[in-house]
Amino acid sequence: MANKRRLVLVLGDQLTAEGAALRAADKTRDVVMMAEVRAETDYVGHHKQKIALVFAAMRAFAEGLRADGWTVAYTRFGETGNSGSITGEILRRAEEHRAASAVTIAPGEWRLRQALEDCPIPVVQLPDDRFLCSEAEFAEWAKGRKSLRMEYFYREMRRKTGLLMAGDDPEGGQWNYDAENRKPAQADLFRVNAPRFAPDGTTREVLDLVAREFADNFGGLEGFNWAVDRNGAQKALAHFIAHNLADFGTYQDAMLEDDPLLYHSLLSPYLNLGLLGPLEVCQAAARAYAAGKVPLNSAEGFIRQIIGWREYVRGIYFHEGPDYTARNHLDQHRKLPWAYWGGKTEMNCLRHAVAQTRDLAYAHHIQRLMITGNFALLAGVDPAQVQEWYLAVYIDAFEWVEAPNTAGMSQFADGGVIASKPYVSSGAYIDRMSDYCGSCAYSVKKKMGEGACPFNLLYWHFLDRNRDKFAGNPRMAVIYRSWDKRKPEDRKMILGQAETMLNKIAQDAF
Ligand SMILES: Cc1cc2nc3c(=O)[nH]c(=O)nc-3n(C[C@H](O)[C@H](O)[C@H](O)COP(=O)(O)OP(=O)(O)OC[C@H]3O[C@@H](n4cnc5c(N)ncnc54)[C@H](O)[C@@H]3O)c2cc1C
Ligand code: SF4
């Protein structure tokens, strides 16, 4: 019956064969629709590799559905008739296939949810049950709590999943082994490289398309080394568990100039696109621990990132509402330095973090938090511009996960919903956790004066200019006390030199 036919909209980050919309559909009657459209490629200037990964993975997924017996209406980028937006494509396909409504998984972004609500034909948005904690469950957990700290949420998720539990207690007696996880790393010639994913014909076609159509977007395509289907993503998972998980915990905060990946998993794009599920990834880590192949601090640290942080930030994004991304608690309005897009800077750490982001569309958590994030926060950059940058440049960036990490965890723009204090540091932290400072034009040891590390100057400027917001925070009292103990003339000099540095940053001359 033609009038009962529904479209099943599968978005580029919903590439899960058992996703709620496909489960709700009838293979013999309904039509799956997928579309590569301008509105999605252009709402921020995505990294070339990100567009390439999403398109290549969408095309591979569509082929898999066809092989499985689905009718798939797939709109390629630039093909004749492509209306350029998701809702435009829904209307076009509805007419073509005489469908009266559509069903989809609710998008991970307020912008698209609203667009689907406004669509002239009804689009049912089903809860995204690929996450372990539903939006309703998160709201229940958050109800009546004074503060929404990740650690308590995480414990609930451990209990719920049974991961690393010994009965009612956490494996090993502690919930969190982060105290063992803050070691700097040494260059290691024997570290196992990431697996290679040679592009297949579809991927090569997409890489050509992106090189042609998005030539001015940030980033290079040469380093593209991502799996584009579930099979490849499972290989990446197996490789990580076998080679890198054991040392993941110990070195997860470390940074090395010549080793941008260290022991990180690089699984975020596969998780966020739906090629891997959070539970299967965590169960693989828990099995490796149970088999005695990896230590508890690594298995726990890794699992916490996924069932803790990943689920928690998504909960926060939807709990806080559509205005979350517009918040600017610290009233910061400076422009994002050109160095973030590859412009010149003498700061070795920032230069390296941006260069690897350009080449790989990837930087690990501490580079994002303590180099690019820390610097933007100290330099007073408008959080909306910082968010736009993070949303654009990383292979795994989708708003539900990018925004809370950037606006909340990194920029304190939400006023402390996520972080109990701002993630700021002077150069000493970067020096301890990396080898960047050795070859920097600035001196990390110099707290002030010619050539002093910009982090050292701006750190105190940040604390001083935000005193009214942080002085009452018990976790920051010691820092303010140590600032107040400094000689008044030193404080004045540091603040003056920080002002000069801020002016240089504004002129992109630092
Ligand atoms: C400012 C800022 C912006 C970020 N933007 C994104 C983003 O757009 N997309 C994204 O997926 N992650 C983001 N993160 C979180 C984290 O940096 C990445 O998930 C991680 O670097 C991905 O690399 P990996 O897969 O090698 O992670 P690993 O270090 O191997 O960690 C394992 C997994 O844990 C999950 N994870 C770890 N930390 C977080 C976190 N804070 N929030 C959510 N999931 C986490 C990821 O799924 C990751 O794959 C951001 C962090 C910061 C500080
Ligand atoms: S000295 Fe400062 S700017 Fe240079 S690498 Fe170290 S932390 Fe970065």
Query: Quick one: 381 exposed, middle or buried, by C-beta within 10 A (0-12, 13-18, 19+)?
Result: buried
Q: For residue 33, list its beta bridge partners.
A: 9, 73
306 lines ligand 1 (CB under 6 A): yes
pLDDT for 186:
87
pLDDT tens per residue across span 298-313: 999 999 999 999 999 9
Half-sphere exposure of 322 (CA within 13 A, CB side): 6
Q: How confident is the model at residue 190 (pLDDT cuts 50, 70, 90)?
A: confident
Question: What pLDDT, on a 0 to 100 scale, did the predictor assign at position 182?
Answer: 86
Tokens at residue 264, please? 């990180």
Q: Which of 152, 148, 117 is nearest to 315 (CA)?
A: 148
DSSP secondary structure code for residue 171 in this structure: G
CB distance 357 to ligand 1 below 6 Å = no
Ligand 1 centroid to residue 104 C-alpha, Å? 26
pLDDT at residue 214, rounded to an integer: 98
* Residue 124 bridge partners (DSSP): 103
Q: Which pLDDT band holds residue 189 (cuts at 50, 70, 90)?
A: confident
Please choose, from the candidates 302, 25, 286, 37, the residue with its C-alpha nearest in 3D space to the C-alpha of residue 171.
Answer: 286
Model confidence at 24, in pLDDT bands (50, 70, 90)?
very high
Give the span between the Cα atoms of 414 and 330, in whole angstroms. 9
pTM for the predicted model, two decimal places = 0.97
pLDDT of 145 higher than 50: yes
| Average pLDDT estimate for 435-452 | 97
Q: Answer whether 65's CB lies under 8 Å from 72's CB.
A: yes
Residues in contact with 243: Cβ distance below 8 Å, sequence separation at least 6, in sequence order:
192
- Measured between alpha carbons, how far is 46 from 41 in angstroms, rounded to an integer? 7
Containing H/E element for 497? Answer: helix 488-506
Read off φ and ψ for residue 9, nearest 5 degrees: -80, 120
In angstroms and rounded to an integer, the radius of gyration of the C-alpha atoms of the chain is 24
- Of the chain, the percentage scoring pLDDT greater than 90 comes to 96
The tens digit of pLDDT for each residue in 372-413 reads 999 999 999 999 999 999 999 999 999 999 999 999 999 999
Nearest Cα residue to 370 out of 313, 420, 333, 424: 424
Q: Determine the straight-line distance between the first and last CA of the chain, rounded to whole angstroms.
A: 67
CB 131 within 8 A of CB 19: no
Q: Give the whole-angstrom CA distance, residue 364 versus residue 357.
A: 10
Q: Are 361 and 47 in contact (CB under 8 A)?
A: yes
**Segment (H or E) for 468:** helix 467-470
**pLDDT(493) > 60:** yes
How is residue 166 annotated by DSSP?
A: E
Q: What angle do CA 110, 90, 38 make, to 5 degrees?
A: 65
Residue nearest to atom 37 of ligand 1 (CA): 305
Q: How far is the CA of 268 from the centre of ligand 1 (A)?
A: 6
Contact 458, 496 (CB under 8 A): no
Quick one: which ligand is closest to 353's CA?
2
* Residue located via tokens 């095309």: 59
Q: Is the CB of 427 under 6 A from ligand 2?
A: yes
Distance 439 CA to ligand 2 centre (A): 9
Give the mean model confidence (pLDDT) for residues 87-102: 97
CA of 309 to the centre of ligand 1 (A): 8
- What size, in residues, is the chain? 510
**Mean pLDDT computed over 351-372:** 98
pLDDT tens digit string along 211-269? 999 999 999 999 999 999 999 999 999 999 999 999 999 999 999 999 999 999 999 99
Pocket mutation for ligand 2, best pick of 348, 366, 433 (most atoms within 8 Å of C-beta): 348
Mutate to test the pocket of ligand 1, among 268, 313, 394 (most ligand atoms within 8 A of CB): 268
State both tokens at 336: 């994002």
pLDDT for residue 495 is more than 90: yes
The answer to whether the CB of 265 is under 6 A from ligand 1 is yes
Cα 409 to ligand 2 centroid, rounded to whole Å: 22
DSSP for 396-436 reads: T--HHHHHIIIIIIIT-TTSSSS-SS-----HHHHHHHBS-
pLDDT > 70 fraction of the chain, expressed in percent and rounded: 99
pLDDT of residue 1: 45
Average pLDDT over residues 125-141: 98
By most ligand atoms within 8 Å of CB, the mutation choice from 354, 369, 437 for ligand 2 is 437
* Per-residue confidence band for 3, with pLDDT thresholds at 50, 70 and 90: low
Tell me the DSSP string of 256-303.
BTTBSSTT----HHHHHHTSS-HHHHHHHHHHHHHTTSS-HHHHHHHH
Mean pLDDT, residues 83-112 taken together: 98
Sign of CA dihedral 336, 340, 342, 348: positive
Q: How confident is the model at residue 275 (pLDDT cuts 50, 70, 90)?
A: very high
**Confidence band of 184 (pLDDT split at 50, 70, 90):** very high
**Among 255, 370, 396, 398, which residue has the most ligand 1 atoms within 8 Å of its CB, making it the best to mutate?**
396
Tell me what pLDDT residue 316 has: 98
Pull the structure tokens for residue 322.
């559509």
pLDDT over 70 (residue 362): yes
2 pLDDT exceeds 50?
A: no
